[in-house]
């Protein structure tokens, strides 16, 4: 969530502003199920789409799995 929060800051969003979040992950889809609610709440996403496969936008790695994401103002 730190990278998503940094994207919010780069977009000059206020704390109460919500975002639309798109996340893609090719490996380890079990992370989606266990973390979906937490990620959505922590990033103040009014909508969040979690997708399997390679994505677009920024990326980072968690436990060897690459995660791509895009953030937009909702």
Task: Give the C-alpha separation, 63 to 66, whole Å.
Answer: 9
pTM above 0.75, yes or no: yes
Average pLDDT across the chain, whole number: 90
3-class DSSP state of 64:
coil
Q: Name the more confident of 52 and 10.
A: 10
Both tokens of 24, joined, read 């893609």
Q: What is the pLDDT of residues 48-57, one digit of tens each?
A: 998 889 999 9
3-class DSSP state of 69:
strand
Q: What is the pLDDT of residues 25-47, one digit of tens each?
A: 887 666 667 788 899 999 999 99
The confidence score (pLDDT) of residue 36 equals 85
Task: Give the C-alpha separation, 4 to 50, whole Å.
Answer: 14
């Amino acid at each position: 969530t730190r990278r998503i929060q940094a994207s919010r800051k780069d977009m000059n969003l206020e704390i109460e502003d919500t975002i639309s979040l798109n996340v893609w992950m090719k490996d380890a889809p079990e992370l989606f199920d266990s973390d979906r609610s937490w990620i959505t709440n922590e990033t103040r996403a009014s909508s969040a789409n979690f997708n399997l496969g390679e994505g677009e936008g920024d990326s980072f790695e968690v436990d060897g799995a690459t995660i791509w994401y895009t953030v937009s103002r909702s």
